[in-house]
Structure formats: C-alpha cells, structure tokens
C-alpha cells in the first residue's frame, strides 16, 4: 500500500523488492528481518484473501500489487490511515496524521479522527480500534484490527518503543530506583546507629 503511493515508478513490486520493503529499517514498528520464503508465503495468503494480486507481464519476474484498498473499498484517506497503522503499530491521533503525510495530507487532526471513526465502524466489522489510554500515556492510541484484537501488552510495548514512551518508562524506572535507594539508605542508617 505504501509503495504504490510513495514510489509508483517501482510499483508493482517483485518478490525481492517486496522483501526489501518489508525489511525496511525506517518508518516501521516493529523492524523485521523476513526471508524470501516468509514473504512469499505471506503474499500468497494475502492473495487467497484477495488482498494482493500477482501480475505477470512482459518482464522476467512476477510482480505483486496490493488489493486491500479495492477489496475493502477504501478511499485514499482510509488507505493512508490503515497503512500507517499496519506499518507502525498502535499510534496516537497526531502520529497517524503526521506519519500518513506521504500518502495523504490531512488538513487537521479532526479530519484524521473522522477517518479513524469511519474505519472503526467499517461495514462487516471495524478495521481499527481506539485503545484505552495506558498509564504513562498522555493520549489514547489507535490500532488496526486486520490481525485480530490488539493485546494491551503489544500496545504498551509499542508505546515504550516510541520516543515519548521511552521517557515515560525511564521516569517510571527512575522512581523505582529512588524508592529502592531510599529504602537502602534507611536500612544503612539503622545499621550504622546499632553499631555506634
């Protein structure tokens, strides 16, 4: 979905290009290292669901196109949001707006939120879900539902991996260390008082 919009001159993708796209190090969460067999198996399973199509043309290699947009009848805005969630896991409204910019430029957060609400109420079952705000988070996150219900643990892990999430985790860890240090200090002072 991403490559169709951002690099149309190289689209559709050969299996090798698809492997490289899956294993891209930037704009991905989690970063993965799939081999060709894994990607080939996945693209065939997507073909069974009518989410991808193999194109045989005049070239020497088969190429693959996404069909999620057509199969689910998604517009450009919906495709951009869903793709962003597929690439980066659970995200805040602002992150979705900013990170989908290369595929669709939303005017503001309200427009992005309307698209998320539309995807949450998608006919045949919602495609996204607003997650409950977790401790240490300032905002709720949204996650896609294409691979089932997101677990709270995976949502928390993706937040911890985000720059703001790392700060919250560090603050939490620092609080625990301070508490342990204060406890050790009290115990040391009590021991020192007994020896004097």
Quote the pLDDT of residue 182. Answer: 77
Q: What is the mean pLDDT of residues 40-65?
A: 89
182: tokens are 């204060």
How far is it, in rounded angstroms, from Cα 153 to Cα 117? 23
How far is it, in rounded angstroms, from Cα 11 to Cα 17? 9
Decide: 180 and 186 in contact? Cβ < 8 Å. no
Q: pTM of the predicted model, to two decimals?
A: 0.73
Confidence of residue 67 (pLDDT cuts 50, 70, 90): very high
List beta partners, residue 53: 65
pLDDT in tens, 86-103: 998 899 999 999 999 999
Q: What is the mean pLDDT of residues 80-91?
A: 92
Quote the pLDDT of residue 164. Answer: 61
Q: How many CA atoms lie within 13 A of 56 on its CB side?
A: 0
Quote the pLDDT of residue 161. Answer: 53
Domain covering 74-161 in this structure, CATH number: 1.10.10.10
pLDDT in tens, 111-166: 999 999 999 999 888 999 999 888 878 889 999 998 888 875 544 455 455 556 66
**Number of helical (H) and strand (E) elements in the chain, helices listed first:** 9, 5
Q: What is the mean pLDDT of residues 51-71?
A: 88
178: tokens are 């301070």
Decide: 83 and 100 in contact? Cβ < 8 Å. yes
How far is it, in rounded angstroms, from Cα 100 to Cα 150? 21
Distances in whole angstroms, Cα of residue 169 to Cα of each of 9, 30, 103, 152, 175: 42, 18, 31, 16, 10
Phi/psi at 71 (5° precision): -60, -40
How far is it, in rounded angstroms, from Cα 44 to Cα 38? 10
- What are the residue ranges spanned by the domains of the chain? 2-70, 74-161
Flag whether pLDDT at 80 surpasses 80: yes
User: Domain 2-70 falls in which CATH fold?
Assistant: Arc Repressor Mutant, subunit A (1.10.10)
115: tokens are 């698209």
With 0-12 CB in 10 A as exposed, 13-18 as middle and 19+ as buried, what is 194?
exposed
For tokens 């401790």, what's the residue? 135
Decide: 55 and 65 in contact? Cβ < 8 Å. yes
Quote the pLDDT of residue 84. Answer: 94
pLDDT in tens, 169-195: 677 667 767 777 777 788 788 888 888
Quote the pLDDT of residue 170. Answer: 74
Q: What is the mean pLDDT of residues 23-35?
A: 89
Quote the pLDDT of residue 171. Answer: 74
Quote the pLDDT of residue 155. Answer: 45
């Amino acid at each position: 979905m991403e490559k169709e919009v951002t690099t149309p001159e190289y689209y559709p993708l050969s299996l090798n290009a698809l492997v490289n796209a899956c294993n891209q190090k930037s704009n991905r969460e989690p970063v993965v290292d799939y081999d060709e067999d894994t990607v080939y198996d996945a693209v065939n399973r997507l073909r069974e669901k009518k989410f991808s199509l193999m194109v045989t043309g005049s070239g020497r290699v088969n190429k693959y196109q996404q069909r999620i947009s057509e199969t689910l009848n998604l517009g450009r805005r919906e495709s951009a949001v869903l793709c962003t969630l597929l690439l980066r896991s659970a995200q805040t409204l602002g992150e979705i707006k900013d990170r989908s910019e290369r595929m669709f430029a939303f005017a503001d957060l309200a427009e992005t939120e309307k698209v998320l609400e539309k995807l949450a109420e998608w006919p045949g079952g919602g495609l996204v879900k607003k997650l409950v705000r977790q401790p240490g988070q300032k905002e709720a996150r949204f996650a896609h539902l294409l691979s089932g219900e997101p677990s709270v643990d995976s949502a928390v892990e993706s937040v911890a991996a985000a720059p703001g999430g790392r700060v919250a985790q560090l603050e939490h860890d620092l609080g625990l260390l301070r508490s342990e240090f204060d406890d050790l200090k009290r115990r040391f002072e009590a021991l020192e008082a007994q020896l004097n």
